[in-house]
A and B are shown apart, each in its own frame.
Chain A
């Protein structure tokens, strides 16, 4: 029994020793906040039930307990209490999180004129790479001035970013751990995700839905940079693309 207690106790404190959320680089911290709310609530319940359990086991051990057993078939009062109290807590949680969900999934950022904000780029999942397409100067996709890159997504800092995500073949999932963003990419569907990055740096794009044998290597990189650096990158990459297409055409 002693071992059980040690294992039990060790279980809850160990995670706090270092491995935890990856750094958050977006403005919206509501997911982290909710996670901690639930962690507190469940942590209390977990420890309380654990203590109760072990206390009962120790106290009512047949080898020591010479009291007659409590012959009881239950208590209506207790039942009502422990149904109603958790119900209130759960209902509170359910309502409390609705706003965060709506923010993440239903309220797409808008332009000053109230129009939905257009995507800065289109990301297409494909076995086993992320194809990224910028609309170019005319702000329209699938026109001759589009810019194509694979696996390298650049975005400007401190702006609301909207991305259009799609799939060419099977299911993938566009997962940005540092951005708290994840969305399955479904062939035949066009979806939008949005977030506001606040810190420069390069972070992983992970595929989080099994998409075949190469699933593990479907890695991309998302780079957050200042507006100026971003524009410069866009221009430079676009020039390179023109150049290579030009040389390609010449070679033929």
Chain B
């Protein structure tokens, strides 16, 4: 064993010395190092997170005080309307909010940022299998950034057919103001995001299958890696369908085909040729990808949370194998439940029953996971650090989102709540209460590894508490709106008698939403301050078991300064075999009392 240790130190590869411009570009801009790419993804997606949040404030402003002048921002943005949001602008707002949040924030932050950063480190590899392809997967995001960003400035001010882009509305330029060039750019942007994810997923699959350190069997992988692995599988199988569908819609728009345009359609009294298509076909193709995509948006988060919970409960994961099976089960079933987005779409009602049963069954692995998380913290020694608080919030918010899903899975109930705020409440609990919480937890947790410094705990907890309170203030109330039948995507719901009395509660939500966005200020300041001035972190500040914690903080090019060899799973906290309350995966067994000579502990 010790010879490996010695070799490892010699192999430390990070170069020092002068830094030319060319070197700067290859190191920080067009880098092929998975860690730099991961951090590039992190910064880009966080920036878009801000954009998406501001768009959300626009939506909420309109719902609270429709047709009223927006203070400060209003006159700057649309002086023509006297600072008011127009209905055209409103449709753009929610379309682009959702597009940005799903395609430019949540998916790339999990797969692109955390996936890239963590996969090689956690499996003990020195980089991804295809570093150049990896670099490309980041850089094809830039055309997408420009296309989505640019669509705000062309006719129609951004795509406005909803993020689901249902034809005929989306495929006929005459049918909506934002359905012109902006929609074409939207489709092209989506294609670029798709290419990026595709390049990433091939890379992740190959890396995880081929490049694990000696001893790292599949059943010793941390759940974060399992989450990334299954996500990559989902991407690989489902994404081509969306890309094809996107191209078909593009052809419908530009080349005069009629995949999604029915016979004898007339818009604005002018007949639309050629027809012969089916609008529902798009919905099937779209949800065939986008339903699995919601698991793409949650499985890696579930993995990260499992790792964090174990670390701060100082306990092994409850039921590792069932957790892995549950993840696989969710992924497998995920492919056959897309139709639950289409219960009231006009699809054959007999099919509705099939999809309903499948959907009910997919709730099961999610329940299993929740109970396993509870089992994990049971009997532990819980440390309430910022990452732990966010992970606990993930568990509790995921319960809310998961349970509200059962209402929607029940086909008759879905008749009433479909396309109401009940749905909006549900997916925000899953995506914001769930995934975004896990992302925050992950940032606080792996920040010391990424930047070699720790974030401030006090401000981390403040960030957590404020976000958690206003999150529930904003989104829990949406269930109530949903129960009244309050539809989503209406620029002025108070146009209807039935919903007129709901304005005050909408105002309450808007205030909470603004405060929630404001609650991110401590996070942003803490992030940048700690990056440069935070206390230095050692290799393993949390006393965690994973391989990534045995590498230097931050790891140099090539990651490890020794050859990691894996002896056990990642969750052996509190093991009686270890003389500490943790037992790193690389620490050889039966070396009680000598553990301190292992390279893992030299600087702690």
Chain A interface (Cβ < 8 Å from any Cβ of B) = 1, 3-4, 7-8, 11, 14-15, 19-22, 30-31, 34-35, 38-39, 41-42, 45-46, 49-50, 52-53, 56-57, 60-62, 65, 67-75, 78-79, 82-83, 86-87, 90-91, 93-94, 97-98, 100-102, 104-106, 127, 168-171, 173, 175, 177-178, 180-189, 191, 203-204, 206-217, 219
Taking a contact as CB atoms under 8 Å apart, the answer to whether B364 and A83 are in contact is yes
Could you say which residues of chain B place their CB within 8 Å of the CB of A67? 379
Could you say which residues of chain B place their CB within 8 Å of the CB of A212? 91, 169, 175-176
Q: Does B377 contact A (CB under 8 A)?
A: yes
Could you say which residues of chain A place their CB within 8 Å of the CB of B381? 60, 62, 65, 69
Could you say which residues of chain A place their CB within 8 Å of the CB of B315? 69-72
Could you say which residues of chain A place their CB within 8 Å of the CB of B166? 171, 209-210
Could you say which residues of chain B place their CB within 8 Å of the CB of A210? 91, 161-162, 166, 169, 489
Knowing that A31-B415, A38-B413 touch, tell me 7 more A-B residue pairs with CB under 8 angstroms: A21-B483, A65-B382, A169-B168, A169-B267, A187-B265, A188-B279, A210-B166
Pairs A–B under 8 Å by Cβ, sample size 26:
A11-B400, A19-B481, A19-B502, A20-B484, A46-B399, A65-B382, A70-B574, A75-B375, A82-B371, A97-B356, A97-B411, A101-B349, A101-B356, A105-B349, A171-B168, A171-B169, A173-B344, A175-B419, A182-B344, A186-B279, A186-B345, A187-B262, A210-B169, A213-B87, A214-B87, A215-B491
Interface stretch (choices B113-121, B288-296, B472-480, B526-534)? B472-480
Complex interface residues of chain B between 236 and 270 (CB less than 8 A to chain A): 262-268
Which of B161, B345, B400, B468 contacts A46, CB < 8 Å? B400
Taking a contact as CB atoms under 8 Å apart, the answer to whether A213 and B91 are in contact is yes
Closest chain B CB from A100 CB (angstroms) = 4
Taking a contact as CB atoms under 8 Å apart, the answer to whether B411 and A15 are in contact is no
Given contacts A72-B379, A104-B412, whether A170 and B492 have CB atoms under 8 Å apart is: no
Q: Does B43 contact A (CB under 8 A)?
A: no
Mask for B407-432, Cβ within 8 A of A = 1, else 0?
Answer: 10011110110111000000000000
The docked-state distance in angstroms from the alpha carbon of A22 to that of B380 is 47
The docked-state distance in angstroms from the alpha carbon of A68 to that of B279 is 61
Could you say which residues of chain B place their CB within 8 Å of the CB of A83? 322, 364, 367-368
Q: Does B457 contact A (CB under 8 A)?
A: no
The docked-state distance in angstroms from the alpha carbon of A62 to that of B313 is 8
Given contacts A11-B476, A56-B377, A104-B412, whether A90 and B318 have CB atoms under 8 Å apart is: no
Could you say which residues of chain B place their CB within 8 Å of the CB of A22? 484-485, 498
Given contacts A101-B353, A170-B267, whether A87 and B364 have CB atoms under 8 Å apart is: yes
- Of all chain A residues, which has the CB nearest B178? A213
Q: Does B28 contact A (CB under 8 A)?
A: no
Could you say which residues of chain A place their CB within 8 Å of the CB of B374? 49, 52-53, 56
Taking a contact as CB atoms under 8 Å apart, the answer to whether B175 and A170 are in contact is yes
Closest chain B CB from A148 CB (angstroms) = 16
Mask for B561-604, Cβ within 8 A of A = 1, else 0?
Answer: 00000000001011110000100000000000000000000000
Taking a contact as CB atoms under 8 Å apart, the answer to whether B91 and A79 are in contact is no
Taking a contact as CB atoms under 8 Å apart, the answer to whether B363 and A86 are in contact is yes
Q: Does B273 contact A (CB under 8 A)?
A: no
Taking a contact as CB atoms under 8 Å apart, the answer to whether B346 and A19 are in contact is no
The docked-state distance in angstroms from the alpha carbon of A211 to that of B490 is 10
Taking a contact as CB atoms under 8 Å apart, the answer to whether B160 and A213 are in contact is yes
Taking a contact as CB atoms under 8 Å apart, the answer to whether A34 and B371 are in contact is no
The docked-state distance in angstroms from the alpha carbon of A68 to that of B578 is 14
Interface size band for B: 35 or more
Mask for B372-400, Cβ within 8 A of A = 1, else 0?
Answer: 10110111111110000000100110011
Could you say which residues of chain B place their CB within 8 Å of the CB of A217? 87, 492, 495
Could you say which residues of chain A place their CB within 8 Å of the CB of B377? 53, 56-57, 60
Could you say which residues of chain B place their CB within 8 Å of the CB of A1? 384
Q: Does B319 contact A (CB under 8 A)?
A: yes
The docked-state distance in angstroms from the alpha carbon of A23 to that of B414 is 18
Given contacts A20-B484, A73-B319, whether A213 and B375 have CB atoms under 8 Å apart is: no
Q: Does B443 contact A (CB under 8 A)?
A: no
The docked-state distance in angstroms from the alpha carbon of A8 to that of B380 is 23
- Interface of B, secondary structure class, is helix
- Of all chain A residues, which has the CB nearest B501? A19
The docked-state distance in angstroms from the alpha carbon of A204 to that of B161 is 24
The docked-state distance in angstroms from the alpha carbon of A251 to that of B480 is 54
The docked-state distance in angstroms from the alpha carbon of A6 to that of B379 is 24
Closest chain A CB from B351 CB (angstroms) = 11
The docked-state distance in angstroms from the alpha carbon of A53 to that of B501 is 36
The docked-state distance in angstroms from the alpha carbon of A106 to that of B351 is 11
Taking a contact as CB atoms under 8 Å apart, the answer to whether A94 and B360 are in contact is yes
- Of all chain B residues, which has the CB nearest A49? B399
- Of all chain B residues, which has the CB nearest A16? B480
Closest chain B CB from A65 CB (angstroms) = 6
- Of all chain B residues, which has the CB nearest A66? B381
The docked-state distance in angstroms from the alpha carbon of A129 to that of B349 is 27
Could you say which residues of chain A place their CB within 8 Å of the CB of B378? 56, 60, 70
The docked-state distance in angstroms from the alpha carbon of A55 to that of B506 is 33
Q: Does B352 contact A (CB under 8 A)?
A: yes
Which of B375, B468, B505 contacts A19, CB < 8 Å? B505
Could you say which residues of chain B place their CB within 8 Å of the CB of A182? 344, 415-416, 418-419
Taking a contact as CB atoms under 8 Å apart, the answer to whether B395 and A53 are in contact is yes
Taking a contact as CB atoms under 8 Å apart, the answer to whether A187 and B160 are in contact is no
Which of B267, B469, B495 contacts A7, CB < 8 Å? B469
The docked-state distance in angstroms from the alpha carbon of A98 to that of B411 is 8
Closest chain B CB from A197 CB (angstroms) = 16
Closest chain A CB from B409 CB (angstroms) = 8
Which of A52, A57, A93, A106 contacts B392, CB < 8 Å? A57
Which of A45, A49, A184, A189 contacts B344, CB < 8 Å? A184
Could you say which residues of chain A place their CB within 8 Å of the CB of B318? 72-75
The docked-state distance in angstroms from the alpha carbon of A30 to that of B416 is 11
Interchain residue pairs A-B with the least CB separation, the first 8: A188-B262, A70-B379, A74-B319, A177-B485, A105-B349, A69-B574, A62-B381, A42-B403
Which of B91, B177, B278, B571 contacts A215, CB < 8 Å? B91
Taking a contact as CB atoms under 8 Å apart, the answer to whether A35 and B379 are in contact is no
- Of all chain B residues, which has the CB nearest A209? B419
**Max chain B Cβ within 10 angstroms of own Cβ: one of A39, A68, A72, A106:** A72
Taking a contact as CB atoms under 8 Å apart, the answer to whether B465 and A3 are in contact is yes
The docked-state distance in angstroms from the alpha carbon of A179 to that of B113 is 47
Given contacts A60-B382, A215-B491, A217-B495, whether A35 and B416 have CB atoms under 8 Å apart is: yes
